[in-house]
Each structure stands twice: as C-alpha cells, then as structure tokens.
Amino acid sequence: MTSNKHIEQCVRENLENYFRDLRGVEPSAMYDMILRVVEKPLLDVVLKQAEGNQSRAAEWLGINRNTLRRKLLDHKLID
C-alpha cells in the first residue's frame, strides 16, 4: 500500500468511526473541524522532520514560508 493510500485509509476509517460515535446526531461544520484537527499535527510533524527549518518545511508542504509561519503561530506551535 502506498503512503498516500495508507493516509487516505486512516482518514476514511476515522471518519467512519466519527459518524458511528455520533449515534445519529447530525454533524455540523465538519470541513473546518477536519482541517483544524489535521493541520496542527501535520505542521508539527513536518516541522520536526525538517529539524525546525521553516523554509524546508514550507517547501515540503508546498506553501509559502510566511503562510507556514502564520499557521504555526495560529496553532501555537511557535512563539
């Protein structure tokens, strides 16, 4: 299984668990919630793998370094 497929399968399984745990209650604002809960660990892990090098992390993520910095501040991953 390729890495992308593995991540996709993990997301799929967790979303299915999320709906099961709701027990019929309708969710709301899922899109924003999912982005919020995925973005923080994504940024944290990538920055650690880049040994704190924000330029490298931004390049790996395919985003501008200033955008990365703003997101890191928003998520309180840096001061």
C-alpha 30/C-alpha 36 separation (Å) is: 10
Can you state the angle between helices 30-49 and 54-61, rounded to 10 degrees?
130
Residue 17 lies in a domain: no
Give the mean pLDDT of 18-36: 94
- CA quadruple 11, 12, 18, 21: dihedral sign: negative
User: Mean of the pLDDT values across residues 19-23?
Assistant: 95
Q: Is the pLDDT of residue 1 over 70?
A: no
Task: Examine residue 44 and state whether it is found in any structural domain, yes or no.
Answer: yes
Distance CA(50)–CA(17), nearest Å, equals 32
Domain assignment present for residue 30? The answer is no
pTM: 0.81
- Mean pLDDT for the stretch of residues 3-30: 93
Selected residue with higher pLDDT from 36 and 2? 36
Query: Does 64 map to a domain?
Result: yes
Write down the residue that tokens 């899922």 correspond to.
30
Looking up tokens 């703003």 gives 70
- The total number of structural domains that make up the chain: 1
Write down the mean pLDDT value for the chain.
95
Domain that holds residue 78: 35-79
1, part of any domain? no
Q: Is residue 53 situated within a structural domain?
A: yes
CATH number, domain containing residue 72:
1.10.10.60
Q: In this structure, is residue 54 part of a structural domain?
A: yes
